[in-house]
Amino acid sequence: MATCGKRHNEFLSMFKQMTLRGFLTRHAHNEGLDPSLICLIENIASACRVIGDRLRNAVFEDNLGLAGETNVQGEDQKKLDVIADEAFIRICGSSPRLAALVSEEREDAMWFKEPQAGDFLLFYDPLDGSSNTDVNLSVGSIFSICNVETNGDRDIQKAGRSQNCSGYAIYGPTMMLVLTVGSGVFGFSCEYGTGDFRLTHPRMTIPTETSEFAINASRYRFWDAPVRRYVDECLAGNTGPRGRDFNMRWTASMVAEVHRILTRGGVFLYPADDGNRAAGGKLRLLYEASPMALLVEQAGGAATDGHSRILDLQPKGLHQRVPVILGSANEVGRIAKYHTADAGSAAS
């Protein structure tokens, strides 16, 4: 047994020697990854390193607090929102074959070239959960990459299933980059000192079962019946129909919630409710829900809006919001079943 454990540790330590560049180069060789995509991913990693540095030194560089502007979402921009957005544009904008960027912070797409088939479209939330910056809690950057399908095609509202890469950086006790290029989810920890992203979490997978849910419970009075039913049953614990106790988490940062779920399982809900239904929901489809849904499905989980698979949703606008329920497949399936039953009873 000890030998097996020793071999496992040797295997993991071998992985930790592999940098993001080494991993992507090996993927290029084994799976035909486009070298221009590798360059874009490395530029995204560089932008995230810069953002991580600015976050660490924000208090010394007077970068905490509000920028004094509102963004396209009508939200008060934090200084760090602006800094993170500018880092993505400055560092990723020069990537070969990058046709356009879509940022949470900007109303319109930013075009860099006449789109040619095979060029890249980058969608990103430069600083997700930025309400946490002034209280020193985890935040993140989320990114999604799709291809231009035909020459001259400026239709960039792609369904999530057409992504060829998605991921996030989480700026926590350790800065990590977690990504998928379509064959599993891989986590890279940023080594303090060298700044290298090293492969520390190969093939992250989500357990199908969980006893941990994440939802903003202060919105209980706005929830629809299926969500209330699910949460009430979790809260009833081993005295209720689930027959076991549940735990709840809420960090006000989707990146932190998804990272926890990719690491140990769980289910995250930001459903449609009476308070956000007119806006379509809370979370944005192109640069929050779709990239996270791809990661979750690649890790063996599921992601739905309550009725449809997130990756099948056809965007109707760059900043369209959607309901999001994602995580351990069996819990997501149960919640979707409650939505179907509720719709059925409403129809009869």
Q: Which residues bind ligand P6P (CB under 6 A)?
A: 128-129, 131, 216, 252-254, 270, 282-283
State which residue has the least CB distance to ligand P6P.
Answer: 254
Dist. CA 246–CA 266, nearest whole Å: 10
Question: How buried is 316 (Cβ within 10 angstroms: 0-12 exposed, 13-18 middle, 19+ buried)?
Answer: exposed
Name the residue nearer to ligand P6P (CB basis): 77 or 253.
Answer: 253
Name the residue nearer to ligand P6P (CB basis): 131 or 150.
Answer: 131
Name the residue nearer to ligand P6P (CB basis): 27 or 259.
Answer: 259
Q: In angstroms, what CA-CA distances link 141 with 22, 287, 347?
A: 22, 10, 41
Name the residue nearer to ligand P6P (CB basis): 21 or 277.
Answer: 277
Name the residue nearer to ligand P6P (CB basis): 249 or 309.
Answer: 249
CB of 28 to ligand P6P, least distance (A): 32
Dist. CA 92–CA 347, nearest whole Å: 49
For 28-50, b/e burial (b = at least 16 CB within 10 A) is: eeeeebbeebbbbbbbbbbbbbb
CB of 193 to ligand P6P, least distance (A): 30
- Tell me the residue length of the chain: 348
Name the residue nearer to ligand P6P (CB basis): 36 or 216.
Answer: 216
CB of 321 to ligand P6P, least distance (A): 10
* Structure token digits, residue 227: 């969500």
CB of 144 to ligand P6P, least distance (A): 15
CB of 71 to ligand P6P, least distance (A): 11
Dist. CA 241–CA 238, nearest whole Å: 8
Q: Determine contact, residues 266/328, Cβ cutoff 8 Å.
A: yes
CB of 189 to ligand P6P, least distance (A): 21
